[in-house]
Amino acid sequence: MSHTDSAGKDIGNGGFQAFRVPCFARYWFGSAFAILGQQMVAVAIGWELYELTGSATVLGLVGFAQVLPVLLLALWSGSLADTFDRRVIVLIAQALMIVSTSTLGAISAGFVNLPDHSLFRSLNLGVESLIGLLGETGTRVEDPRVSAYLILLSCMGLAKVLNNPSRVAILPRLVPGDVLTNAITWNSSAMHLAATFGPALGALIVSLAGDSKARYAAVYWTDACCALTMFCCFLSLPRGIGQPLRKKADAGQSESNHCLDGLRHVLNDKVILAAISLDMFAVFFGGCTALLPMFARDILGVGVIGYSWLRAAPPIGAFAMGLFLAYRPPRNGIGRMLILSVIAFGAATLGFGLSRNYALSLLMLGLLGAFDNVSVVIRHNLVQIRTPDALRGRVAAVNGLFIGSSNELGALESGLTAALWGPVGSVLVGGTATILVVLTIARLWPDLPRLATLDQAIEAG
């Protein structure tokens, strides 16, 4: 194994074998801290904007502001990841994240007095018009912080779209091939572990700060520190480990063709296309995270701490499933397992929408996260093992475009449908649509449910 600290070394077996590679341990630690900070911000920004506006539509716009850079730049960022040093790109992205979240904190704490600028007035007017169009009458959006926050969220989205393809493409270079499944499982678990504690820590900081003007700013500045931690971890990785292995066919290729190669690879590989489509539509319709402030305050009657545990429940379930999969990785019937896990995800979404009991709601969200992680681990394995290194950045960008945009557009969809039908109606429609989409995809791409093992997936690719 080249380009890693453990080249040629026996790192043994067991659920923690990937952590015996020092480069992976630093990669995992930095990624976990970055996601921890982002989850803390998600709690604080949602709660603060709901306090400022009381609008479900604005909660949806939080997602849209972050997905806009993904929609515009995802393919280009994948091309960057397959052209330039991926490690350097991650460092630039984290520097942008540090600046964005620090500025967010300065505005929230009142250290920066926003001017009465035409840009803020125009954006607020647009938000107010959208709110009125969706029937939320009587809501005024006059605070310039609303527009400023949406702009900064877009900057954070830009940092993510630069970061994710390069970060994902580096992973297979860190560990031996026979440890990749374990590394992918732990990489997924890092996201869920951070998402477990992030909401609770964010809510705890807000709660401990009481009525202080800096109660939300403290969360945003903590995220800046988390991004700095990831910056330092990736800075410590060996130089050259992020250098892409470019194919000769890439030389002299136009920029547009180079950007589109990842999309062509996904469209030509029916197994990858089916797996990504399955997750994309499930997350788009079945995601209910954006509406949790409404469920917490208006339906379940719990405060910001209760809300934080609602946000933490899916990643807790996902992390528990991740631990199980680290020791018992999916080996047989992976296609059928993928289909059934997403159906169960939709069913748990329906259960949450119907619940009026706080404990039952936590349970449904936990199950939702557990089933989601099964599909995430299988999908990530399929994408990595069926993609050559020279294309990994661009394919990761396409994957991020599908899944990342569905997360944030799903938040927008949740906010808009909740404005029309209420939060319960929005979640019930989403859960039902998820199950119907799974059945449709299984019929359109029968090769996916027939897939037996990852070895078969390699041969088929």
Summarised one tens digit per residue, pLDDT across range 119-176 is 877 887 887 777 777 666 666 777 788 888 999 999 999 999 899 889 988 988 888 8
Hey, what are 435's tokens? Answer: 């199950």
- 71, part of any domain: yes
When divided into structural domains, the chain yields a total of 1
pLDDT, residue 4, reads 42
- 12, part of any domain: no
- 1, part of any domain: no
- 97, part of any domain: yes
- 248, part of any domain: no
pLDDT, residue 454, reads 60
Of 8-12, 254-258, 303-307, 433-437, give the range with the top mean pLDDT: 433-437
pLDDT, residue 217, reads 92
- 7, part of any domain: no
Residue type, 461: G
> CATH number of the domain that 45 lies in?
1.20.1250.20
Q: Summarize pLDDT for 410-419 with one digit per residue, the tens.
A: 777 787 788 8
Which residues, 6 or more positions from 244, have their beta carbon under 8 angstroms from its beta carbon? 81, 82, 83, 84, 86, 169, 389, 390, 392, 393
Short-list 67, 40, 64, CA closest to 311:
40
Which residues, 6 or more positions from 76, have their beta carbon under 8 angstroms from its beta carbon? 259, 397
Residue 12: pLDDT above 60? no
- 8, part of any domain: no
- How many C-alpha atoms does 75 have within 13 Å on its Cβ side? 14
Q: What is the mean pLDDT of residues 391-413?
A: 77
State the pLDDT confidence band at 30, using cuts at 50, 70 and 90. very high
Residue 211: how many other CB atoms lie within 10 Å = 5
More confident residue, 438 or 211: 438
Q: What is the mean pLDDT of residues 427-441?
A: 91
Q: Are 46 and 52 in contact (CB under 8 A)?
A: no
State the pLDDT confidence band at 439, using cuts at 50, 70 and 90. very high
pLDDT, residue 254, reads 57
- 43, part of any domain: yes
Domain containing 116 equals 17-243+253-460
